[in-house]
């Protein structure tokens, strides 16, 4: 049933999924008529709390396979594996014949991260209802705000957390490990974040390059420039038709993979509705990191992050008893995204066992 050709076609669709910092932390292997899903430790960010963003990304890739399979009249079933050992598959996708083609398959290729400002008009109630329905069948929840006052609060909190990625050395070093400044770097690696896709002025590229040196970065940081850059990037949270938060009920791998599947289903529905989306990972990531590894942040940063929790949960009151996975800014824009569509060649995401 699952020929090599079909397997490669499904893996190609999986590779178009979103991933945090475009790390594409996934690998796939055909085993008889099923697809084994592996993580790629080399492309998982060491500071990622509980590897939550890697699992979310892998979940998104899995969902693309599930949807793409319907084009071939195949109904996919995802079985999560409890294994600790990351050399073992984290999920296995099996197939049975007979299903109807999902309309979302047409949007896998055009879904992207759009970092432009969006129009301010609120997402219509009917549309929001369809977006809510898109995540209903997953073990993850969606919470909304369409209140401009909340957008401003979110922008403030994002700015007052994002600067920590430049200011705290382990996060700074990791950031410059995954940022790609030149076409040569992009073509060599095929993963990581291209600076161009961040939609910042060209002059910022030259400036940002210098920040890779910790001493220069610290000097600039002392002048408050890191905070200014963070503020600039965060203001776009004020240009949205709605902001949603996806939460999980447990903090574990399976829950985050499920959230990733829900996020991809939501994002493809958003695309089908003619809307655009941009994730904001920093608050869910830092809230989780602070809880799981209390000593990771120096006291000053920890205090700043903790101070955001109360206002955050007053914006999303029903999320209080849940755990945050990802924030997404949604809305309409005529400006196309400079999508970071760089992807690894398919052969590099085919998992090889030690015997192969
Ligand atoms: C878990 C997760 C977290 C992300 N966090 C952010 C973020 O904080 N800011 C942002 O601009 N994009 C974020 N992204 C979007 C990725 O950078 C994007 O998916 C990747 O670069 C591939 O580009 P594409 O979505 O256009 O295909 C995130 C994506 C995922 C899956």
- What one-character DSSP code corresponds to residue 51? G
Given phi > 0 = left and psi -120 to 50 = alpha, else beta, which region is 44? beta
The DSSP code sequence of 310-339 is: HHHHHHSGGGTTSEEEEEEEEE--SSPP--
- The residue whose CA has the least distance to atom 17 of ligand 1 is 21
Helices (H), the chain: 4-14, 52-69, 125-135, 148-162, 164-167, 169-178, 183-189, 202-210, 214-222, 225-234, 253-272, 282-292, 299-315
The pLDDT assigned to 149 comes to 97
Ligand 1, pocket-test mutation among 13, 14, 15, 19, most atoms within 8 A of CB: 19
Produce one character per residue of 290-319: b if its CB has 16 or more CB atoms within 10 Å, e if not: beeeeebbeeebbebbeebbeebbebbeeb
**Tell me, what's the pLDDT at 340?**
59
**Closest ligand 1 atom to 340 CA:** 23
Q: How far is the CA of 57 from the centre of ligand 1 (A)?
A: 9
> Of all atoms in ligand 1, which is nearest to the CA of residue 281?
8
Domain assignments of the chain as residue spans, ordered by start: 4-111
Determine the Cα–Cα distance for residues 234 and 236; give it in Å rounded to an integer: 5
40, 301 Cβ separation under 8 angstroms: no
- State both tokens at 100: 């109807």
- In angstroms, the CA 242 to CA 330 distance is 5
Strand partners, 247: 141, 324
Which residue has its alpha carbon closest to ligand 1 atom 2? Answer: 20
Residue 270: the pLDDT is: 98
Rounded to whole angstroms, the Cα distance separating 264 from 135 reads 9
Q: Which CATH superfamily is domain 4-111 in?
A: NADH Oxidase (3.40.109.10)
State pLDDT tens for residues 317-342: 999 999 999 999 999 999 888 665 78
Spell out the residues 6+ positions from residue 63 whose beta carbon is closer than 8 angstroms to its own.
17, 260, 261, 264, 265
What per-residue confidence (pLDDT) applies to 220?
79
Q: Whose CA is nearest to atom 29 of ligand 1?
A: 20
Distance from residue 20's CA to the centre of ligand 1 (Å): 5
- And the tokens for 227? 């905070």
Whether residue 50 contacts residue 98, with contact meaning beta carbons closer than 8 Å, is answered with: no
Give residue 32 CA to ligand 1 midpoint distance, Å. Answer: 33
C-alpha 217/C-alpha 223 separation (Å) is: 10
Does 145 contact ligand 1 (Cβ within 6 A)? no
Q: How many other C-beta atoms lie within 10 A of the C-beta of residue 181?
A: 16
Nearest CA-CA partner of 64 in 78, 52, 44, 50: 78
d(CA 129, CA 125): 6
Rg value, the chain, Cα: 20
**Could you report the per-residue pLDDT of 150-178, keeping only the tens digit for each?**
999 999 999 999 999 989 999 999 999 99
Largest CA distance in the chain: 62
Residue-level pLDDT at 83: 83
Q: How far apart are CA 119 and CA 98, in angstroms?
A: 41
Say whether the ipTM exceeds 0.95: yes
CA distance 313 to 324: 10
Q: In order along the chain (356 residues), what is the average pLDDT of each group of 10 residues?
A: 97 98 97 97 96 98 98 98 89 97 97 94 95 98 97 96 92 93 87 79 75 86 77 90 98 98 98 97 98 97 97 98 98 82 94 80
With helix as H, strand as E and coil as C, how does 22-43 read?
HCCCEEEEEECCEEEEEECHHH
Output the six-digit token pair for 135: 């995540």
Which pLDDT value is given to residue 32?
94
Element (H, E) at 144: strand 141-145
């Amino acid at each position: 049933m699952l020929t090599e050709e079909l397997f490669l076609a499904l893996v190609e669709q999986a590779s178009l999924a979103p991933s945090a910092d475009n790390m594409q932390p996934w690998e796939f292997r055909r085993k008889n008529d099923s697809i084994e899903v592996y993580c790629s430790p080399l492309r998982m960010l060491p500071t990622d709390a509980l590897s939550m963003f890697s699992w979310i990304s892998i979940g998104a890739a899995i969902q693309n396979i599930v949807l793409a399979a319907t084009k071939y009249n195949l109904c996919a079933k995802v079985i999560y594996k409890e294994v600790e050992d990351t050399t073992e598959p984290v999920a296995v996708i099996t197939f049975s014949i007979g299903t109807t083609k999902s309309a979302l398959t047409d949007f896998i290729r055009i879904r992207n991260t759009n970092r432009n400002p969006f129009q301010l008009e609120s997402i219509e109630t009917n549309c929001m209802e369809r977006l809510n329905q898109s995540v209903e069948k997953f073990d993850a929840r969606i919470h909304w705000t369409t209140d401009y006052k909340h957008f401003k609060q979110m922008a403030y909190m994002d700015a007052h957390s994002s600067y920590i990625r430049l200011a705290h050395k382990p996060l700074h070093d990791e950031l410059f490990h995954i940022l790609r400044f030149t076409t040569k770097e992009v073509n060599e690696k095929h993963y990581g974040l291209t600076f161009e896709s961040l939609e910042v002025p060209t002059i910022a590229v030259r400036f940002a390059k210098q920040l890779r040196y910790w001493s220069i970065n610290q000097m600039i940081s002392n002048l408050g420039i890191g905070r200014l850059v963070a503020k600039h990037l965060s203001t776009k949270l004020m240009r949205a038709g709605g902001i949603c938060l996806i939460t999980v009920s447990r903090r574990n791998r399976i829950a985050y993979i499920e959230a990733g599947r829900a996020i991809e289903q939501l994002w493809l529905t958003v695309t089908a509705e003619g809307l655009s989306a941009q994730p904001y990972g920093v608050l869910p990531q830092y809230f989780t990191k602070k809880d799981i590894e209390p000593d990771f942040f120096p006291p000053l940063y920890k205090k700043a992050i903790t101070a955001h929790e109360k206002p955050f949960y007053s914006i999303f009151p029903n999320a209080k008893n849940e755990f945050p996975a990802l924030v997404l800014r949604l809305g309409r824009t005529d400006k196309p995204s400079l999508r970071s569509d760089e992807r690894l060649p398919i052969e590099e995401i085919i998992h090889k066992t030690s015997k192969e």
